[in-house]
Amino acid sequence: MKYIDEFRDGELAQKIASRIAAEADPSRSYHLMEFCGGHTHAISRYGIAELLQANVQMVHGPGCPVCVLPIGRIDQAIRLAMEHGAIVCTYGDTMRVPASDGLSMIKAKARGADIRMVYSAADALTVAEKNPQREVVFFAIGFETTTPPTALVIREAKARGLKNFSVLCCHVLTPPAIVHLLESPEVKQYGIVPIDGFIGPAHVSIVIGSRPYESFAEIYRKPVVIAGFEPLDVMQAILMLVRQVNEGRAEVENEFSRAVDRDGNLLAQQMMDEVMELRESFEWRGFGSVPHSARRIRAAYAEFDAETRFALDYQPVPDHKACECGAILRGVKRPSDCKLFGTVCTPENPMGSCMVSSEGACAAHYTYGRFRDIPVVAA
């Protein structure tokens, strides 16, 4: 299949792996963070880490939208359904993330809350139109990829004069999260998380373009290569990063030139800016409050803002004590470092958000990589 098979060619993957091996300097190490959960999934699924020599290491980043959603926001969505009697619509993975009091959205649904899985923001709008007597809230999560469709339905709801539709807007932004990570003591002060470069997300960059990464590549001297999600995309990006590190360059390069350009999708950006503005700060799981890292609905569209409409307050809630999701999202730990991994916590019974989505580091490692953790005992 065009753009699929040619980017999954095993022989080519071996050739790129040989190039990486030939060009990586054996006297140093390369720690490359894949920001996005889509890349984490690809790296686990295709065994990419196993194709690399020991001094080229991948570090999981925080770019899985379900994973970074803090418990307090899921509690808000549950409250909307259980206390305010709203129909709450959201994407499938969001429904399984553990919330307070042993609940999740799907468990709340089992207790009678009207919570519905939708495939798109537009589906939530349809639910609102079909239920004019009920309040319908779309619990909107995700990075810049899923933000434009949310902005579009808010604009559409206004144009259609819908009175029973609102959005709990929890859309987050990629560049501020990367900067926050680079400014964290674990990276900056103590070097606990060494980062020599980033693989940048493909779909986010289709929307925002490659330009927003340029300032931090320059300021923090970290190379960025934007890459697609097929295995050869990721392998090629690793090779490009190794070359930048070797040459002492810190530039933004674009491996995914088949869909990403420097400016991104200007129409989508315009629509997001028309309907939404930056929040002063927003809590991310594992990161705490990150300045200017999320969007809220502008005053001109306040009637569609569920936080305003239902006078919701926000209460931060700590994660399960034994769950290491926060440290995993910051690149400090790996899934196998968590005592609950694969025993108490599995994709069927997730104790933390990283085990929910296929893009979560724990779920990806459970599905594809856990067998490699077991040492082979000689007969």
Which spans of this chain sit near ligand SF4 (rule: CB under 6 A)? Answer: 323-325, 328, 335, 338, 340-341, 345, 350-352, 354-355, 362
Q: Which residue is nearest to ligand SF4 (CB)?
A: 352
Least distance in Å: CB of 31 to ligand SF4? 20
The token pair at 162 is 């819908």
Q: What are phi and psi of 103, to 5 degrees?
A: -95, 165
Shortest Å, Cβ 187 to ligand SF4: 20
Helices (H), the chain: 10-23, 37-45, 48-51, 65-68, 71-82, 105-110, 121-130, 147-160, 174-183, 185-188, 202-208, 214-220, 231-247, 266-275, 306-309, 325-329, 361-364
Q: Which residue is it, tokens 């769950």?
A: 323
Q: Could you please report the per-residue DSSP string of 280-346?
A: SEEEETTTEEEET-BEEE-GGGGGGBHHHHTT------PPPTT--HHHHHTTSS-GGGSTTBTTTBB
Q: 69, 70, 87, 91: which is closest to 78 by C-alpha? A: 87
As measured in angstroms, the least distance from the Cβ of 319 to ligand SF4 is 8
Helix (H) or strand (E) holding 277: strand 276-278
66 or 235: CB nearest ligand SF4:
66
Q: By C-beta, is 95 or 351 nearer to ligand SF4?
A: 351
Instruction: Tell me how many degrees the CA angle 92-95-96 measures, rounded to the nearest 5.
Output: 105
Task: For ligand SF4, give the closer residue by CB, 39 or 96.
Answer: 96
Query: Which two structure tokens, joined as six digits, stand for 47?
Result: 């065994």
Q: How far is the CB of 357 from ligand SF4 (least distance, A)?
A: 10
Tokens of 57: 């290491």
What is the spatial distance between Cα 19 and Cα 289, in angstroms, rounded to a whole number? 41
Report, in Å, the least distance between residue 190 CB and ligand SF4.
21
125 vs 329, beta carbon nearer ligand SF4: 329
* Least distance (Å) between residue 40 CB and ligand SF4: 12
Work out how close the CB of 362 gets to ligand SF4 at its nearest, in angstroms, rounded to a whole number.
3
- Between 53 and 349, name the residue whose CB sits nearer to ligand SF4: 349
Residue 258 vs 339, nearer CB to ligand SF4: 339
Q: Which is nearer to ligand SF4, 175 or 352 (CB)?
A: 352
